[in-house]
Structure 1
Amino acid sequence: MERREFLKSAAFTALASTLVHEARGAAAGMPYRTLGRTGEKVSLVGLGGHHIGRKYVSEQEGIRIIRTGLDSGVNFLDNCWDYNDGESERRMGLALKDGYRQKAFLMTKLDGRTAKSAQEQLEQSLQRLQTDHIDLIQIHEVIRMDDPERVFAPGGSLEYLEKARKEGKVRYIGFTGHKSPEIHLHMIETAEKHHYTFDTVQMPLNPLDAHFDSFAAKVVPVARKHNMGILAMKPMGDGLVLKTNTVTPVECLRYAMHLPVSVVITGCDSMHILQQALDTAKDFHVMDEAELNSILKKTETVALNGQFELYKTSHNFDGTFHNPQWLG
């Protein structure tokens, strides 16, 4: 896609007035945006859960990152049932003790495609996170064209999640994926056929995505049409975007924040990286066309064929491909 065409695409329409209003409304601190049809206010930057559970990050440091983020105005927390064999949720549960749970809009994800597996995984997440409810539960890794049919089938995961919502265990329901915009669109279309609308949708949004099989160009406009909360993930592609030596971490964050998203989720494995994310969010202003065009121009060549977006073009990031038993 040509840069000019992308800049004029539906993903960028009606941005300025909305984003400036919401960002400036919290000029003294963390900007907040509305999480789509839920009406919830969430911080412009959200903290990813995977990084705090990695082996090179100590438990104490992981807890410190989460609590410092919450004390600094972040309220959106991301996690997943399968992250680091549950260690990420366990550490986040520890971080949310002593009154910190009340500061957080807590999201986690599950892999189960059956009601039974979804129930088992949600119960484990509630236990690890030491909470009686999840604010947002998301169906993780919708990366196969038949995932939507499995989710909506009788006895599928959505059947249980709606039951859990009625029981007060979850408040909102969404889905995630990193493989293909077409699969995301198929999930939304399948939901429509069942007279259903997901509250949120999560996808990788970074400068490389603009040039190759773009979620920003293809999925974001459709999600906006349905008033779904749009969650940006992989603003740096788990470091792969930075390996192109074309853009800086701050440029990656600013690019994602410029899009019409509710929150930009970024992984922080140190206090330095956390502070970088906090500063970028608090200093956010809408990019003009020249600044945006500069970022897209710098990344155009390296983005060809998805060679640095391996979550789209390989199975390297597909946890449920390597562990199909998680699907149930």
Structure 2
Amino acid sequence: MERRSFLKSAVAAGVGVAAVGATLAQSSTLDNQAQGGSRPMSPDMLYRELGKTGEKVSAIGLGGYHLGKQDDPQESIRLIRSAIDRGITFMDNCWDYNDGLSEVRMGQALRDGYRSKVFLMTKMDGRTKDSYNKQLEQSLGRLQTDVIDLVQFHEVIRMEDPDRIFAEGGAIEAAVAARKAGKIRYIGFTGHKDPYVHLRMLEVAEKHGFHFDTVQMPINVMDAHFRSFGKQVVPVCAQRGIAVLAMKTFGDNFILKSNTVTPIEALHYSLNQPVSVVITGIDSTTVLEQALEAVKTFKPMSDAETASLLERTKDAASDGKYELFKTSSHFDGTAHNPSYLG
């Protein structure tokens, strides 16, 4: 507690379409507040259940990486608060984003009563108990909070990552202890490389009698055609009551550069999947408005509409060249910085 106080003062993110549609239909403010706790809900935003946690969160999540890119920190703060004021409650972040700057700015933005309005998530790179604990204390300080709603093991992209996390003295011990101590509420993991790594993480967790609350993965218009998380991992999560957090809707704009889909179509496709949240990078007011417009205009897609969109992206998606997070090291922060793992 004393360390967190010091850090705070030092720094002055197998269900079908019909089922998704049924969830989205329950959009009254009264119902949203009843299921989402004390966080205020906007009638202009969609809210979904977060697996079996009992939480209800915005269907759009504010990606943390892009929030450390603005030259003026006040611009980042205004963007975060604007998103919250417009109904976005799910905040994404990570211990290593922009060398911690993303968490610092989010922590500053969540002052003045904004912390109670959001479901706050961040991620830890550490694979050992010691490295996880050190990173968690830093994140608590940067985010200026005593409790983080969801902490996920970041970049589970290697087949050995599950073994390291669940080994004796591994990061899972630190996460469980932090949850017991009230520093974190829920535990999940993320990854973007290959669905088999996700499946192995779930298998190792099951062997240890551990249930993940969330799993974050790429869900986009090209994923269905190449090493598909949607086809291979989502059904397992649905069976086990694990909330799916979607990311890489645009693949850092590489998917949009294929000229096969518009930003709104890409967001609609991801929103149409059986996911709790679509986490998307928002670095400007223009991009924020785009995400809000996608929510406003979203309607559950028919099977024919989905098939048509997937047919349009099939050829471009066939070899993964637009999903660089699967086929290159471009997005692998822990590969470029192995010391983060501990």
Q: Tell me the TM-score normalized by structure 2.
A: 0.90
* Farther off after superposition, 287-296 or 39-48: 287-296
Q: How far apart, CA to CA, are the structure 2 residues paired with 1:32 and 1:208?
A: 25
How big is each residue's C-alpha offset from its partner over 1:73-120, in whole Å with a ceiling of 9 and x where there is no partner? 111000000000000000000110000000010000010000000000
SS of 2:315's partner is coil
Q: How far apart, CA to CA, are the structure 1 residues paired with 2:52 and 2:162?
A: 21
- Aligned partners of 1:137 and 1:174 also within 8 Å: yes
Is 1:153 aligned with 2:154? no
- Aligned partners of 1:142 and 1:148 also within 8 Å: yes
Is 1:40 aligned with 2:43? no
- Aligned partners of 2:17 and 2:301 also within 8 Å: no
SS of 1:297's partner is helix
- Residue of structure 1 equivalent to 2:281: 267
SS of 1:19's partner is helix
SS of 1:223's partner is helix
Give the AA of the match of 1:97: R
- Residue of structure 1 equivalent to 2:239: 225
Is 1:173 aligned with 2:187? yes
Shift of 1:305: 1.2
Is 1:294 aligned with 2:308? yes
SS of 2:106's partner is helix
- Aligned partners of 1:57 and 1:269 also within 8 Å: no
- Aligned partners of 2:215 and 2:245 also within 8 Å: yes
Is 1:285 aligned with 2:287? no
- Residue of structure 1 equivalent to 2:262: 248
Structure 2: 5+ residue runs without aligned partners?
A: 1-13, 29-42
SS of 1:38's partner is coil
- Aligned partners of 1:70 and 1:103 also within 8 Å: yes
- Residue of structure 2 equivalent to 1:5: none
- Aligned partners of 2:106 and 2:143 also within 8 Å: yes
- Residue of structure 1 equivalent to 2:44: 29
Q: Tell me the TM-score normalized by structure 1.
A: 0.94
SS of 2:169's partner is coil
Shift of 1:234: 0.9
Q: How far apart, CA to CA, are the structure 1 residues paired with 2:301 and 2:17?
A: 10
Is 1:19 aligned with 2:20? yes
Q: How far apart, CA to CA, are the structure 2 residues paired with 1:275 and 1:316?
A: 28
Shift of 1:311: 0.6
Matches within 5 A, 1:43-58: 43-54=58-69, 56-58=70-72
- Residue of structure 2 equivalent to 1:7: none
Give the AA of the match of 2:93: N
Matches within 5 A, 1:129-140: 129-140=143-154
Q: How far apart, CA to CA, are the structure 1 residues paired with 2:284 and 2:71?
A: 8
Matches within 5 A, 1:78-89: 78-89=92-103
- Aligned partners of 2:165 and 2:172 also within 8 Å: yes
How big is each residue's C-alpha offset from its partner over 1:225-280, in whole Å with a ceiling of 9 and x where there is no partner? 11001000111111110010110011111000000000000010100100111121
- Residue of structure 1 equivalent to 2:272: 258
Is 1:205 aligned with 2:219? yes
Quote the sequence identity (%): 58
Q: How far apart, CA to CA, are the structure 2 residues paired with 1:294 and 1:246?
A: 12
Shift of 1:282: 2.9
After TM superposition, the runs of 4+ consecutive aligned structure 1 residues lying more than 3 A away are none
CA RMSD of aligned residues (A): 1.1
- Aligned partners of 2:51 and 2:213 also within 8 Å: yes
Count of aligned pairs between the two proteins? 315
Relative distance call for 1:309 and 1:14 in structure 2 (3 A) is closer
Q: How far apart, CA to CA, are the structure 2 residues paired with 1:296 and 1:320?
A: 32
- Residue of structure 2 equivalent to 1:6: none
Q: How far apart, CA to CA, are the structure 2 residues paired with 1:141 and 1:207?
A: 21
Q: How far apart, CA to CA, are the structure 2 residues paired with 1:124 and 1:72?
A: 29
Give the AA of the match of 2:119: F
How big is each residue's C-alpha offset from its partner over 1:137-192, in whole Å with a ceiling of 9 and x where there is no partner? 00000000010011001110010110000110000000000000000000000001
